[in-house]
Amino acid sequence: MMQREPSIATQNRYRPDIDGLRALAVTAVILYHAKILGFPGGFVGVDVFFVISGFLITGILARSFAGGTFSLLEFYERRARRILPALFAMVLCVLATAPFFIRPWDLAAIGRSIKYVATSTANVDFYHRLGDYSGDDASLTALLHMWSLSVEEQFYIVTPLLWLILCKFTRNPSHWLKLFVVLALASFAGNLWMLPRDSSACFFLLPYRAWELAAGGLLALMPLPTLRGSTARILGTVGLGMILWAIFRFNHDTPFPGPWALLPCLGAVLVITSGLTSTPVLPTRILQARPLVFVGLISYSLYLIHWPVLVFANYRAQYLGTELGGWMKVVLILFMFVLGWLSWRYVERPFRHSEVWTRRRTFTFAWISIVAMFGLGYFYQKTSLFLNLLPVEARAMAEAAFSNKDKVKEPLSSPGVDQPHRFGSPDVEPDTALWGDSHAAALSFPLHELALSRNRSFVFYGRSGNPPVKGIVCAPGLKGIAKAKYNTEVFEALVKNKKIRNVVLVGRWACYTEGHTSAYGPAERTAVTGGCIQLPGNPPPGSEEVRSTFARAVEDTVKGLVEAGKTVYLVYPVPETAYLVPQVLANEVIEGRDPAKFTVPAQKIYYERTGPMISILDAITEREGVVRIRPEEKLIDQGNIRLMNEGKPFYFDDDHLTLDGGRYIMPLFEQIFQ
């Protein structure tokens, strides 16, 4: 007979099979991140972790609330003991070792990440930083894996507070169950609605991941029977099969985390449920195997350390021009396990179980570690110490990566069409508009200097990753809709403004039809979202449908501006390089090579890749009022893209011009202010 119990949450016993499930999850994640063949869906290990966390934390809360022993301070004390010591140790290790593996110009990004890790908002930071075509390189972001820990920490903060509020009205456990049902359904519905609109938000942010944690919470709260052996065996086998199917069959093309995320999450729910037997069945016995339980015990420390190890190794390999081989990956994985065990044995366990750590000492340590992480992160982000250790010539090259970024961000931060940034002489009414994306913003300050010298002024309209073209959507989801609306408003404002006689259109044109430069160099090989325009059916970058749609939109935009009496200066593409130019040139100096001899042939990256877009611009109807400006006339020399002049790099990344690069091509723009 099956014996019904109040809920799984009433069981306050150690479950070694859950540690075995942790081992499966963390192993899948590591093999996926290490790019071991055969595990394309290993990323679902994180979803299994979410279910486990929801189950265990909700069980703790339910038992303490039901017994009238709940203490918010005690709950946060236990979370601090569990999370912070190993996290703080990992952060210190990363900060201590990063200067030996990471070039100085990339250490600032690590510092920035650590600040957000300290405040449990790393997922929000990565959503904003990695969510558009100019985002950081994900594979070389040393703390990227901390997004999932931030999601869990936010869950730990919010859930007990919700329960405290609910207990003001009722202490009936069934109401807690109903609350979790509502939260799970609302979160899952929001996930389904948002996935086609903004998949990055669904991936990184708690509101769209909460249903996975709530699934484990529901399991902890539901009244369930003690299962018969045959029933438990079926549930456990099916659950493991669902998780393994996702690990082996999912890949980057799987819409995630959408409906497909139900497979590993429900699989984890079934596996946990199958442990409700007096005698363990086969799936449970497999997960209770001592090697798996051991890996499960160290899984938290192992997860913390595995990604920085891979990032440091991949970073060095990239600069050496090699890739990590199979044997090297095996060695790295073994090294991760050693570090994970050391962290568990000498950091996790002492802090979790030592009676020396009173509540007062625990909270004191927690605040000190949070403040220390934030302060160290700020120092690494802002200091020039590491750059100053470079040879003078290498430092000059590397500093170009930061030379123009603030000046690019400033005009792009305009609150709206009615408040554009103004450049040039403050005493002269603007008669020119610069409209475009971040490529236009990169030219705004050199153009400002040119306008000042001619006693003229202009206004800037633009958004990052948004071409100066009306009638197209250039980003997925709500971001794309907002950008398209902005372009329509800019076009209408320019048409109506009789004082604006010249409109300068600048864009990273080829990116909107051809996508990223991943086939031509390392700069964008791991870009997470495309700059290509969005069309029904999602035709790929470079398709005829994409090119023809964009061509019509450009033609309509130019035609509309000319018919409104404007002179349109159509600025052709700035040659892209597919290399992070300041870093590459600085590395040439560090390695003892002449940076001037590093070349990027223009044939493929410009003439072939950009060729279709050049043809589109060439096909714009020749009419009075259209003037063409071609930066390649100055930036391509003897078949190579000009990367520097007199020791000064022309690019601050792979495609945006520095101030020196912008000034170098300004003679082409003098005609605007004549």
The pLDDT of residue 528 is: 44
What whole-number distance in Å separates Cα of residue 420 and Cα of residue 404? Answer: 20
The 8 Å CB, 24+ separation contacts for 88-92 are 88/369, 88/372, 88/373, 89/343, 89/347, 90/301, 90/304, 90/305, 90/308, 90/343, 91/117, 91/373, 91/376
Straight-line distance from the first to the last Cα atom of the chain, in angstroms, rounded to the nearest whole number: 93
In the chain, % of residues over pLDDT 70: 95
> Between residues 384 and 440, which one has the greater pLDDT?
440
The pLDDT of residue 532 is: 82
Say whether pLDDT at 139 is over 80. Answer: no
> Which of these ranges, 336-340, 452-456, 518-522, has the smallest mean pLDDT?
518-522
> Between residues 412 and 96, which one has the greater pLDDT?
96
The pLDDT of residue 529 is: 46
Say whether pLDDT at 132 is over 60. Answer: no
Helices (H), 119-228: 122-129, 146-167, 173-194, 199-204, 206-221
> Between residues 621 and 631, which one has the greater pLDDT?
631
**Contact status, residue 44 vs residue 247, Cβ threshold 8 Å:** yes
Task: Give ∠ CA 629-635-637 in degrees, rounded to 5.
Answer: 125
Residue where the block lists tokens 């120092």: 379
For residue 388, name the pLDDT band (cuts at 50, 70, 90): confident
Per-residue pLDDT tens over the stretch 290-330: 999 999 999 999 999 999 999 999 888 877 667 778 889 99
The pLDDT of residue 64 is: 83
The pLDDT of residue 11 is: 60
In Å, how far are 101, 144, 422 from 308, measured between CA atoms?
11, 9, 43
In the chain, % of residues over pLDDT 90: 63
Q: Which of 493, 540, 496 is nearest to 516 (CA)?
A: 540
The pLDDT of residue 106 is: 86
Q: Please return the burial class of 25, using the count of CB atoms within 10 Å of its CB with bins 0-12, 13-18 and 19+.
A: buried
**Contact status, residue 662 vs residue 631, Cβ threshold 8 Å:** no
Here the tokens at position 609 are 């890749």
The pLDDT of residue 517 is: 87
What whole-number distance in Å separates Cα of residue 488 and Cα of residue 467? Answer: 12
Interval 432-438 mean pLDDT: 96
The pLDDT of residue 3 is: 45
**What length is written for the chain?**
674
User: Can you list the domains of the chain with their CATH numbers?
Assistant: 3-386 (no CATH), 404-575+602-634+659-673 (3.40.50.1110)
Here the tokens at position 546 are 């994409």
Tell me which DSSP letter residue 648 carries.
E
What whole-number distance in Å separates Cα of residue 417 and Cα of residue 71? Answer: 51
Rounded to 10 degrees, the C-alpha dihedral 171/173/176/181 comes to -150
The pLDDT of residue 574 is: 97
Per-residue pLDDT tens over the stretch 237-265: 999 999 999 999 998 888 888 899 999 99
Kindly report the backbone phi and psi dihedral angles of residue 568, in degrees, each rounded to the nearest multiple of 5, phi listed first: -100, 120
**What phi-psi label fits residue 15: left (phi over 0), alpha (psi between -120 and 50 degrees) or beta?**
beta
Here the tokens at position 207 are 């509101």
The pLDDT of residue 9 is: 52
Rounded to 10 degrees, the C-alpha dihedral 610/611/613/616 comes to 170
User: Residues with Cβ < 8 Å from 485, sequence gap 6 or more?
Assistant: none
For residue 457, name the pLDDT band (cuts at 50, 70, 90): very high
Say whether pLDDT at 339 is over 80. Answer: yes
Task: Please state, rounded to an integer, the average pLDDT across all residues of the chain.
Answer: 89
In Å, how far are 102, 250, 284, 557 from 99, measured between CA atoms?
5, 36, 45, 49
Instruction: Find residue 440's DSSP bridge partners.
Output: none
The pLDDT of residue 62 is: 84
For residue 405, name the pLDDT band (cuts at 50, 70, 90): confident
Most confident residue range from 348-352, 356-360, 375-379, 395-399 = 375-379
Per-residue pLDDT tens over the stretch 176-214: 888 889 989 999 999 999 988 788 889 999 999 999 999
**Contact status, residue 437 vs residue 507, Cβ threshold 8 Å:** yes
Say whether pLDDT at 138 is over 80. Answer: no
Say whether pLDDT at 527 is over 80. Answer: no
What whole-number distance in Å separates Cα of residue 439 and Cα of residue 371? Answer: 38
> Which of these ranges, 8-12, 395-399, 614-618, has the smallest mean pLDDT?
8-12
Question: What is the separation of C-alpha 501 from the centre of its chain, rounded to a whole number of angstroms?
Answer: 41
- Concatenate the DSSP letters of all residues of 198-242 into one string: -HHHHHH-HHHHHHHHHHHHHHHHS--EEPPHHHHHHHHHHHHHH
Q: In what order do the strands lie in the sheet with 432-436?
A: 421-424, 457-462, 432-436, 502-506, 567-571, 626-629
Residue where the block lists tokens 């153009």: 447
Q: Which of 45, 2, 55, 54 is nearest to 24 (CA)?
A: 45
- What pairing do the DSSP bridges indicate for beta strands 502-506 and 567-571? parallel
**Contact status, residue 34 vs residue 333, Cβ threshold 8 Å:** yes
Instruction: Please tell me whether residue 42 adopts helix, strand or coil conformation.
Output: helix
Interval 407-421 mean pLDDT: 85
Here the tokens at position 598 are 């590093």
For residue 334, name the pLDDT band (cuts at 50, 70, 90): very high
Interval 225-232 mean pLDDT: 81
How would you label 281-292 residue by residue, b for 16+ Cβ within 10 Å and e otherwise?
Answer: bebbebbbeeeb
Tell me which DSSP letter residue 345 carries.
I
The pLDDT of residue 10 is: 53
Per-residue pLDDT tens over the stretch 265-296: 999 999 999 988 878 889 999 999 999 999 99
Question: What is the separation of C-alpha 598 from the centre of its chain, rounded to a whole number of angstroms?
Answer: 30
For residue 2, name the pLDDT band (cuts at 50, 70, 90): very low
What whole-number distance in Å separates Cα of residue 465 and Cα of residue 408? Answer: 12
Q: Letter for the amino acid at 647? A: G
Say whether pLDDT at 378 is over 90. Answer: yes
The pLDDT of residue 135 is: 43
What whole-number distance in Å separates Cα of residue 328 and Cα of residue 559? Answer: 58
Tell me which DSSP letter residue 610 carries.
S
Per-residue pLDDT tens over the stretch 625-663: 899 999 999 999 999 999 999 889 999 999 999 999 999
Beta strand spans in 463-588 (E)? 502-506, 567-571
- For CA atoms 347, 348, 351, 354, the dihedral sign is negative
Residue 619 host element (H or E): none
Per-residue pLDDT tens over the stretch 487-517: 999 999 999 999 999 999 999 999 999 988 8
Q: Please return the burial class of 382, using the count of CB atoms within 10 Å of its CB with bins 0-12, 13-18 and 19+.
A: exposed
Per-residue pLDDT tens over the stretch 143-178: 999 999 999 999 999 988 888 888 777 777 777 888
What whole-number distance in Å separates Cα of residue 554 and Cα of residue 224? Answer: 62
Question: What is the separation of C-alpha 48 from the centre of its chain, rounded to a whole number of angstroms?
Answer: 21
Here the tokens at position 595 are 């940076």
